[in-house]
């Protein structure tokens, strides 16, 4: 199965073409740039460069996998909107993946671990996993000091902030995204809804009633 994997939930703008089979995941080509302000600008060029480097066309894809966060609104929506548009135009399924799960799929700690990414505002997104990479808690958002799981190892961009032994990777990879979705891809299951994981209410809110400025 030929799969395009995308993620814009972190400062990494990630696109890659992989094959997924019962024997595992093989990366054919990938493009990754660390730039938190260039998700919208770089994602499409990255995915086109990855397909060209892999020697395939978009029409040959069987499915897409897209990281759905947790992550900040602007970056996350760039990847999800691109994946949704491609899936619709190509008539292929788009499978959402928790971006923390994609990182966890690449961790080889040999013991329970955390995945921790940047939530800004002096906070982190995090989740806990068992030694086999199955999520056991989260995702949650909190200050680093409030991450109260006993795991001694952490992966993800903000792993150093929680004072654990640091493991790789720092960001979601095309291989990790595909591995996190492999079961559903190979089973032919209907994709879940492409729903973003923000974990916060938006900063913008509807204005309330105007305040009275004169005495009745």
Residues 48 and 116 in one domain: no
Which pLDDT does position 211 carry in this prediction?
A: 57
Say what the pTM is.
0.91
For residue range 46-92, list pLDDT tens digits in order: 999 999 999 999 999 999 999 999 999 889 999 999 999 999 999 99
Q: Which residue has the higher pLDDT, 207 or 194?
A: 194
Please report where in the chains the tokens 């700690």 appear, as a residue.
109
Residue numbers of the domain that contains 143: 107-167
205 falls in which pLDDT band (50, 70, 90)?
very low
Contact 110, 129 (CB under 8 A): no
Asked whether residue 7 falls in the same domain as residue 61, the answer is yes
In a domain, 54, yes or no: yes
> Mean pLDDT for the chain?
93
Are 160 and 92 contained in the same domain?
A: no
The CATH number linked to 36 is: 3.30.420.40
CA distances from 185 to 11, 79, 138, 145, 161 (A): 26, 19, 23, 37, 34
Q: Which residues of 91-128 are buried (b: 16+ CB within 10 A; e: fewer)?
A: ebbbbbbbbbbbbbbbbebeebbbbbbbbeeebbbbbb
Number of domains making up the chain:
2
Q: Which H helix or E strand runs over 18?
A: strand 12-21
Q: Tell me whether residue 113 is in a domain.
A: yes
Percent of the chain scored above 90 by pLDDT? Answer: 90
Tell me the per-residue pLDDT of 120-179, one tens digit each, with 9 for 90 and over: 999 999 999 999 999 999 999 999 999 999 999 999 999 999 999 999 999 999 999 999
In this prediction, residue 203 has a pLDDT band, given cuts at 50, 70 and 90, of very low
55: left (phi over 0), alpha (psi -120 to 50) or beta: left
Q: Is the model's pLDDT at 201 over the cut of 70?
A: no
Residue 150 and residue 134 in one domain:
yes
Are 122 and 177 found together in one domain?
Answer: no
Bridge-based pairing state of the strands 153-155 and 113-120: parallel
Do 73 and 18 lie in a common domain?
yes
* Residues 114 and 82 occupy one common structural domain: no
Based on the domain organization, do 130 and 183 belong to the same domain? no
Asked if 83 and 181 sit in the same domain, the reply is: yes
Pairing of the two strands 113-120 and 123-129: antiparallel
């Amino acid at each position: 199965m030929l799969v395009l994997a995308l993620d814009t939930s972190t400062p990494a703008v990630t696109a890659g073409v992989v094959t997924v089979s019962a024997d595992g995941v093989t990366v054919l080509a990938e493009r990754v740039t660390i730039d938190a302000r260039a998700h919208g600008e770089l994602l499409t060029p990255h995915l086109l460069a990855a397909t060209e480097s892999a020697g395939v066309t978009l029409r040959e894809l069987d499915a897409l996998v897209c990281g759905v966060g947790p992550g900040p609104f602007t970056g996350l929506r760039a990847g999800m909107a691109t994946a949704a548009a491609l899936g619709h135009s190509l008539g292929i399924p788009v499978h959402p993946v928790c971006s923390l799960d994609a990182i966890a799929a690449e961790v080889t700690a040999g013991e329970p671990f955390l995945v921790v990414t940047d939530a800004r505002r002096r906070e982190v997104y995090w989740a806990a996993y068992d030694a086999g990479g199955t999520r056991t808690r989260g995702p949650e958002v909190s200050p680093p000091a409030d991450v109260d799981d006993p795991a001694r190892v952490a992966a993800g961009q903000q792993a150093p902030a929680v004072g654990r032994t640091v493991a790789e990777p720092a960001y979601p990879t095309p291989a990790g995204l595909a591995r996190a979705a492999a079961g559903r891809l190979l089973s032919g299951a209907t994709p879940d809804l492409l729903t973003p994981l923000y974990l916060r209410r938006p900063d913008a809110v509807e204005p309330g009633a105007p305040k009275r400025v004169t005495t009745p």
